[in-house]
Amino acid sequence: MCGIVGYLGPLKAAPVLLSELKCLEYRGYDSAGVAVIEDGRLCVMKAAGKLSNLEEILVQKGPTARVGIGHTRWATHGVPNDTNAHPHIDSTGKIAVVHNGIIENFEELKTELIGLGYAFNSDTDSEVIAHLISYELSQGGEMLDVILRSLKRLVGAYALGIVSQEHPDRIYAVNHHYSLSVGLGQGESFLASDSMAVRQYTNRVVRLEQSEVAEITTQGVRLFNFDGLEVKRSPIAMDSSPYVIDKCGHKHFLLKEIHEQPLVLRQTLTKYLRHPNHPIDFSVGAYDPSLDDGSSENKMVGDGTAYGVHLTDEEIKGLNHINIFACGTAYHASMIGKLLIEELVGIPVAVDIASEIRGRKLLVNESTLAIACSQSGETADTLAALKEAKARGAYTMGITNRADSHLAQITPNLIVTECGIEVSVAATKTYLAQLASYYLLAIYLGEKRGTLPPEKAKALKMQLNAIPTMLEQILAREEQYKDISIKYADAHDVVFIGRGVNFPTALEGALKLKELSYIHASGYAAGELKHGPIAVLDQNVPVITVLVPGAVYEKTLSNAQEARARKAKMIVVAVDGDEQAARTFDSVLSIPPVEEILSPLTTIVPLQLLSYFISDYLGKDVDQPRNLAKSVTVE
């Protein structure tokens, strides 16, 4: 949430900052701004709303400065308007700060600084940092010392970019429990919350670790810890392919990403599952170019850092508990992960909404495997939960789409999903890849612990390999889904139901509809409907049932009948040839027949498309729904 960028070098800073910000707009699009040092004076330009509003201002004003910082905001403190947009400046107008995170003691600091005569303009917590630095500067000392003294007063987690009119030859950056990267070019340097944003200019990157300050000049970067001691770190070479933003002919990124799912699944399976007769191999480390299909969207964004699962067979056999932490869509994938691991491995698995770990007694120990599942690898709550589990002695593992994320830094065991960048804020292909990772992980653990007989493992792997083709068949039916979706676009409330492995599918279907169309939607375990939610049903409420032949088919159907008896509009995701479904429901989103245990990989796709078509039909902002950010870096 919130993106920070910076540039200093021979180019005009504003267009570079803008192009970096374009790569970070997924982190928030409530407002954007830049501060540059133009002819020796600090000059701030900012605008509420999307980055395009800032772009217009920059085009009009055409600053020629060669140094600056920029920000894209997801509002936490203060409404999204011009005043609350970053950068924030101090009272002298000489220091500008951009901030990602939350300053927990800002009220206290603000009162103190107001008492000292500092005047505040915004409602943000961030502005306090600019005034605090200004105050410390008035007490004397070099800029680095001034910043270090200021940091000692801040409570919270934050990343900062700082420029001062008095020091036009440098940018300061601070990382405290976030991610920040400095890109090193020839006589120029870049700063960004996400290394992807600097990759369009250079592939030599220095990552700030926790609680570090960077002094960035055109000649490079010096790093210091919060005690002011210099830290030496060599740049790493990232995959140099540029970050290409291209809808490839689709109307929206979301639709493109939904369509990429067969490829994503194939790539993830190819990577870890070489052949159905072979055990799953998670030891595979760096990006394997031989698996790339050549399109830049599908290239790994990683830097070649070794990852993989490095637990020994003894450690895996010694586990007696797994605890998964995740938020949102990743939480839904993890709920399915829990069912798979319990079914195939027989270890009890707890799955927690990561933000619910705070202030709670976390029951993990040295025999626990703690897993953080996070597309971005930056979700603050998910990272905090994993760190807490690690501190209590648990083994740790991450499932992420970003091999260069904060999550990758804090665990030695990492499964990287093969999605390429997901541009649309609503997660689709990364959900599918997280599911794929859980299938592979459950089989892997089952093979290692001997709970999964080889024949069953082989059959599952073969069935998994057949899913990408099924996904292609499903995507070929999108016009049929579109016609059905539009019929229900005027609904105000929609209920999704499912059982077993498809209860989380119902939750995920409801989440997609909410975030993309702003229609209120709730997902329920089908058997729970009669324990309360059924009260909301009438002829105006569509009920979408996920119904796949298997252990819970009949019971799910009975629950759907209960909804039908309340005159709800009945929609179903059902397999081809299901006569009973055709008789019971008003509309059928049909999919090819699939094994129940694997069905979450396919049942979600018609629901993603339903949400997409309704959102587009209603004229919503499909790729950047209101109030959301793709990377949720505040708790």
Cite the active site residues: 2, 630
DSSP lists the bridge partners of residue 197 as none
31 binds ligand F6R (CB under 6 A): no
Task: Examine residue 442 and tell whether it contacts ligand F6R (CB under 6 A).
Answer: no
193 or 559, CB closer to ligand F6R?
A: 193
Least distance (Å) between residue 247 CB and ligand F6R: 18
Around Cβ 518, how many Cβ atoms within 10 Å? 16
Count of residues in the chain:
635
Exposed, middle or buried, 462 (CB in 10 Å: 0-12/13-18/19+)? exposed
Which C-beta is closer to ligand F6R: that of 33 or that of 600?
Answer: 600
Q: Does 608 bind ligand F6R (CB under 6 A)?
A: no
How far is residue 469's CA from residue 283's CA, in Å, rounded to a whole number?
Answer: 27
What token pair was written down for 353? 């909404």
Member of 268, 374, 396, 603 binding ligand F6R (CB under 6 A):
374
Is 8 one of the binding residues for ligand F6R (CB under 6 A)? no
Closer residue to ligand F6R (CB): 327 or 591? 327
- The helix (run of H) or strand (run of E) holding residue 582 is helix 579-584
Interaction residues for ligand F6R, span 455-514 (CB under 6 A): 511
Strand order, beta sheet including 3-8? 41-48, 31-38, 67-73, 3-8, 189-192, 181-184, 204-207, 236-237
Token duo for residue 239? 């995959």
Window contacting ligand F6R (CB under 6 A); options: 79-87, 126-134, 220-228, 326-334: 326-334
CB 414 within 8 A of CB 303: no
Among 174, 415, 632, 634, binds ligand F6R (CB under 6 A): 632
615 lies in the site for ligand F6R, by CB under 6 A:
no
Residue 201 or 439 having the CB closest to ligand F6R = 439
C-beta of 336: minimal distance to ligand F6R in Å?
A: 14
> Which residue, 218 or 374, has its beta carbon nearer to ligand F6R?
374
- Calculate the dihedral angle through the C-alpha atoms of 190, 193, 195, 198, rounding to the nearest 10 degrees: -30
Q: How far is the CB of 326 from ligand F6R (least distance, A)?
A: 7
**52 contacts: CB under 8 Å, gap ≥ 6:** none
- For the bound state, the minimum distance from the C-beta of residue 428 to ligand F6R, rounded and expressed in Å, comes to 8
CB of 401 to ligand F6R, least distance (A): 8
Nearest-CB residue for ligand F6R: 328
Residue position matching structure tokens 């070098």:
9
Which amino acid is it at 23? Answer: C
Please pick, from the candidates 76, 203, 334, 376, the single residue that binds ligand F6R as defined by CB under 6 A. 376
Residue 213 CA, chain-centre distance (Å), reads 25
Helix axes 600-617, 454-475, angle to 10 degrees: 20
Amino acid at 85: A
Considering only residues 422 to 441 of the shown chain, the ones binding ligand F6R according to CB under 6 A are 426-427
Distance CA 245, CA 560 (A): 42
Q: What letter does residue 238 receive in the DSSP assignment? A: P
Does residue 515 bind ligand F6R (CB under 6 A)?
yes
Closest CB 425 distance from ligand F6R, rounded Å: 7
User: Which residue of 329, 556, 615, 624 would you call a contact of ligand F6R, by CB under 6 A?
Assistant: 329
Coil, helix or strand at residue 424: coil
When asked if residue 607 is in the footprint of ligand F6R (CB under 6 A), the reply is: no
Q: What angle do CA 16, 20, 22 make, to 5 degrees?
A: 115
Candidate residues 375, 413, 517, 624; the one interacting with ligand F6R per rule CB under 6 A: 375
What's the closest the beta carbon of residue 65 comes to ligand F6R, in angstroms? 34
Q: Count CA within 13 A, CB hemisphere, residue 41.
A: 6
Q: By rule CB under 6 A, what string of x and - marks binding of each residue 116-155 to ligand F6R?
A: ----------------------------------------
Place of tokens 């009220």: 107
Compare residues 136 and 515 and give the one whose CB is closer to ligand F6R: 515
Instruction: Mark the segment that binds ligand F6R (CB under 6 A) among 103-111, 375-383, 482-490, 588-596.
Output: 375-383
Q: What are phi and psi of 64, to 5 degrees?
A: -110, 5
Stretch that binds ligand F6R, among 277-285, 288-296, 376-384, 475-483 (CB under 6 A): 376-384
Strand arrangement, sheet containing 414-416 = 349-353, 321-326, 368-374, 395-400, 414-416
> From the CB of 29, what's the least distance to ligand F6R, in Å?
15
With binding defined as CB under 6 A, does residue 76 bind ligand F6R?
no
Please give the residues from 281 up to 320 whose contact with ligand F6R meets the rule CB under 6 A.
none
Write down the least CB distance from residue 426 to ligand F6R, Å: 4
Helix then strand then coil, % of the chain, to nearest 5: 40, 20, 40
Contact partners, residue 606, CB within 8 Å, separation at least 6: 474, 477, 481, 573, 589, 591
141: phi > 0 → left, psi -120 to 50 → alpha, else beta; which? left
Question: What's the closest the beta carbon of residue 177 comes to ligand F6R, in angstroms?
Answer: 15
Longest dimension (CA), the chain: 81
The reply to whether 517 sits near ligand F6R by the rule CB under 6 A is no
**Residue 201 or 307: which CB sits closer to ligand F6R?**
307
Size of the site for ligand F6R (CB under 6 A): 14
With binding defined as CB under 6 A, does residue 264 bind ligand F6R? no
Q: By CB under 6 A, which span of 1-9, 276-284, 344-352, 372-380 interacts with ligand F6R?
A: 372-380
User: Nearest approach, Cβ of 238 to ligand F6R (angstroms)?
Assistant: 20
| Site for ligand F6R contains 254 (CB under 6 A) | no
Check: CB of residue 323 under 8 Å from CB of residue 389.
Answer: yes
**Candidate residues 122, 379, 590, 615; the one interacting with ligand F6R per rule CB under 6 A:** 379
Residue 519 interacts with ligand F6R (CB under 6 A): yes or no: no
- d(Cα 71, Cα 76) in Å, to the nearest integer? 14
Between the two ends of the chain, the Cα-to-Cα distance in Å is 10
153 contact partners, CB below 8 Å, separation of at least 6:
105, 109, 132
**Contacting residue, 87, 262, 328, 542, with ligand F6R by CB under 6 A:** 328
Our finding on whether 327 is near ligand F6R (CB under 6 A) is yes
Q: Does 545 bind ligand F6R (CB under 6 A)?
A: no
Helix or strand holding residue 339 (H, E): helix 328-345
The tokens for 455 are 């024949």
- Name the site residues for ligand F6R (rule: CB under 6 A): 327-330, 374-376, 379, 382, 426-427, 511, 515, 632
